[in-house]
Amino acid sequence: MYFKKFFDQIDFNKADIHTYVLLLSAPVLLTIYRYHAYPGFFTPDFDFGLPADQNLAINQFIRFFGLFFVLPALYVKLVMKRPLTDFGLGLGDIKTGLKILAFLVPVAVLVTYLGSFKPDVRSEYPLAHSLLTDQSHLIYYESAYIVFYYIAWEFYFRGVLLFGLKDRFGVINAILIQTISSCLVHIGKPESEIIGSILAGIIFGIIAYRTRSIWYVFILHILLGVLTDLFIIYGT
């Protein structure tokens, strides 16, 4: 009886249970990632025969994929019983998406090139610093970066959170919620990157909603990440 009165007072609605789970998933998954999938906090699960820091980074990407793609996808499919395309995994509005890419890809390349000269960015990237002197496994590293890290990132933030919360809170609020959450992952990164993540979170959220797809912002995001590595590695 006490708990029923308590939930009545705080306007608890069983119909919103998925909303509550999605909101709570952000701090829970981010905390697990920080303490169980971040370099210095875990022992690699797999040995790919790469230099130690590259092997550690790829294991980090795989754990990130498990947390931010596999778990949310299972929740969407098995608990919410909805198709993943409802959360941005479809191609959406292809015509609009291609127009946006045509305009923003050159901007992303230019911004990344200029940013690669910043000392704090150069001290952070590539995450596996051995790539600065040994690029023999660069393709494997960057491929893992793209497949395990960036797909999971966009699916969770611009997919699950944005499309999962927009009907309950409205599009603008959903964009802001996923922006706040994605910004928190950058804590500890260069200040310019954190500031950029706020701006990118809003812009990418708008694009994902407008195109009904995560794939166009996924392309922009991997350009920012992979090109940062390449500009620093080959521009040293």
Q: With contact defined as beta carbons under 8 Å apart, do 232 and 142 qualify?
A: no
- What's the whole-model pTM score? 0.92
Pick the range with the lowest mean pLDDT from 143-152, 171-180, 186-195: 186-195
Name the packing angle between helices 17-36 and 171-185 (round to 10°).
10
**Helical H runs in the chain?**
2-9, 17-36, 52-65, 71-74, 94-115, 119-124, 138-144, 151-154, 162-169, 171-185, 191-211, 215-235
Q: How many CB atoms lie within 10 A of CB 125?
A: 23
- pLDDT averaged over the chain? 93
Please check whether residue 179 is in contact with residue 196, taking contact to mean a CB–CB distance below 8 angstroms: no
Q: Note the Cα 55 to chain centre separation in Å.
A: 20
Q: Does residue 23 have a pLDDT over 90?
A: yes
Provide the token pair at 186: 């950058």
Confidence (pLDDT) at 141: 97
Say yes or no to pLDDT of 179 above 90. yes
Sequence-distant (≥ 6) Cβ neighbours of residue 43 within 8 angstroms? none
